[in-house]
Chains A and B, each alone.
Chain A
């Protein structure tokens, strides 16, 4: 259809990476170590799957949901398992609702 896929891929990658820089700035305002990026990438992935890939509003609510669930899990199951709760949620959504909580069925 005359779309230069290479350009589209490059531009979307560039925008994505540029956006990733903003939370990087926020992280830099507090104490951090370079390895934190793996955890954050992981969280981003969890939020994305919760939301449904390509769902704009879903990402907002997915992020909110993960934050609330993690905070609540500190009270309910202890701080040691905070990450586990997010991951379990992630696996369950992947298994039973692969289109995400907010996404429409493909």
Chain B
């Protein structure tokens, strides 16, 4: 009951937050946190729960962004364009995502990375220009709307992942992660579950892409296809704790804060910081920042709450 009250209080706080702080800068940060949390949760379902380390999430993110942009600038309102973007990401997953499951383990990772690079170069060549926001759309553009949209999708994502982690489906995914051959041997259709995980994952990535396209006024068409959009969610998930519900959210907060902190003082070198942070977390906190909580908690309770099963 206490934790439920806490969650309700937190949600309420986040809803009224933009009215309390009244600072556009803080609102920007909150939007970024939501965006990264959604994207890394999307990666988390496939990578954290199902164990398929994808390095090609930028493709689906970009597909969502591209579709959203075209529809939105074409006059479709954003709440219709957003699911359309997610749908386009899912369609793309049918085209290139599911066949990539023919590759296993590390080959899956480099294969999806190659796919992401193909998508990036193709979009760079087909759409070399900058995507401008039209005047009609500028009227719809408000940070507050974007924040509530991002927050809403974020809450939806977290609830979905929580439900997933408690369901039979979640257990099946984890069994695929732990030992694919053993899971196959006890009668789990691993390919089916990988496809399901990727479907959910890409839909969420498409939503994140739509929010990015809504949030960023003017950007190069290929910007959401940049490889960074594949690596960042992985980084966030591992820093926060891959395969957990809270991990990516915690990771996103840390990531955005660190990025703001170091981007101002170090410029491009801030990428270096994340490399170091990532290596340190993987070496010393294999469960991520969420794992710290488990150390201090009573052993009995920790085993009951740890979403490891």
Contact = CB atoms under 8 A, between A and B. Distances in A.
B300 interface: no
Nearest to A38: B227
A74 B79 CA distance: 43
Given A45-B110, A94-B103, A95-B99, A84 B115 contact: no
Given A95-B99, A95-B100, A95-B102, A83 B107 contact: no
B77 interface: no
A91 interface: yes
Contacts of A88: 118
Contacts of B218: none
Contacts of A95: 99-100, 102-103, 111
A103 interface: no
A87 B114 contact: yes
Interface in B114-145: 114-115, 117-118, 121-122, 124-125
A94 B118 contact: no
Nearest to B99: A95
A102 B198 CA distance: 32
Interface residues of A, number: 15
B103 A83 contact: no
A84 B103 contact: no
Nearest to A96: B102
Given A94-B103, A95-B102, A95-B103, A81 B111 contact: no
A98 B20 CA distance: 57
Interface in A70-94: 80-81, 83-84, 87-88, 90-91, 94
Contacts of B117: 42, 83, 87
Contacts of B100: 91, 95
A91 B114 contact: yes
Q: Is the interface of B mostly helix, strand, loop or mixed?
A: helix
Interface in B90-114: 99-100, 102-103, 107, 110-111, 114
A98 B114 contact: no
Nearest to B125: A80
B181 to A, nearest CB: 15
Contacts of A81: 121-122, 125
B125 A91 contact: no
B99 A87 contact: no
Contacts of A91: 100, 111, 114-115, 118
Contact of A84 (B99, B107, B111, B122): B122
Nearest to A79: B125
A83 B114 contact: no
Contact of B121 (A45, A49, A84, A90): A84
Nearest to B107: A94
Given A45-B110, A87-B115, A95-B99, 20 more contacts: A42-B117, A49-B110, A80-B121, A81-B121, A81-B122, A83-B117, A84-B118, A84-B121, A84-B122, A87-B114, A91-B114, A91-B115, A91-B118, A94-B102, A94-B103, A94-B107, A94-B111, A95-B102, A96-B102, A98-B103
Interface of A: 42, 45, 49, 80-81, 83-84, 87-88, 90-91, 94-96, 98
The 10 A-B pairs of least Cβ separation, nearest first, read: A80-B125, A95-B102, A87-B114, A87-B118, A94-B111, A94-B103, A91-B114, A84-B121, A90-B114, A84-B118
16 contacts: A42-B117, A45-B110, A49-B110, A81-B125, A83-B121, A84-B121, A87-B114, A87-B117, A91-B114, A94-B102, A94-B103, A94-B107, A94-B111, A95-B102, A95-B103, A98-B107
